[in-house]
A and B are shown apart, each in its own frame.
Chain A
Amino acid sequence: GENVEQHPSTLSVQEGDSAVIKCTYSDSASNYFPWYKQELGKRPQLIIDIRSNVGEKKDQRIAVTLNKTAKHFSLHITETQPEDSAVYFCAGRSNAGGTSYGKLTFGQGTILTVHP
């Protein structure tokens, strides 16, 4: 099955700096990679996702890049703000065997702290 590794486990930056979180996946059949942000005590919220037919996607200060050859994808947050502080999870979805249930395999999470 799919295995997703996420690094770093914790990341501390100063307000205004950029933050980068990286994930690697094992299943070359994976074709969908969402990123979730989870604030303390709340549900994970989808912030951006990318499908395997594109290499990069951007939404304001957030971007995701995908390298299918190397099987890794990254989340980039520019001009970080204190409200970006949260736990971020990456995930991958394998389409191996034509499964339609959309099972996601999550990374272990990254605790991002943005210092004012």
Chain B
Amino acid sequence: SQTIHQWPATLVQPVGSPLSLECTVEGTSNPNLYWYRQAAGRGLQLLFYSVGIGQISSEVPQNLSASRPQDRQFILSSKKLLLSDSGFYLCASTFPDRIGTQYFGPGTRLTVL
């Protein structure tokens, strides 16, 4: 079946600490993968997307980075978190049954203190 996993589910980190969020996808190969951030009560902001291993495109310049070391693995990282990095981080994937449709993972809620 087609499933998107994200971990951790919740995370509380101090300002200046590093970050690593992981997303893995099951039930497909060569998906398009996306990282979104949603601030409290706000809309969806696209951060990065990837069409293949090692191929990353950035939508918003900031202190975050993304990597895709394997076909179905997408990682979001930061070397030093800012207070403004707090939010709900969502990974999305396309699946072959519906071309172009994005499905979201369960998300990681990040609080930076």
Contacts and interface: CB of A to CB of B under 8 A. Distances in A.
Interface string B36-67: 00000011101001010000010000000000
Interface residues on B, range: 20 to 34
A104 interface: yes
A20 B45 CA distance: 24
A44 B90 contact: yes
Interface residues on A, range: 20 to 34
B3 to A, nearest CB: 12
Contacts of A43: 90, 104-107
Contacts of B104: 36, 43-45
22 contacts: A32-B101, A34-B101, A34-B102, A41-B109, A43-B90, A43-B104, A43-B106, A44-B44, A46-B101, A49-B101, A89-B43, A100-B32, A100-B51, A101-B32, A101-B51, A102-B32, A102-B100, A102-B102, A103-B49, A106-B43, A106-B44, A108-B43
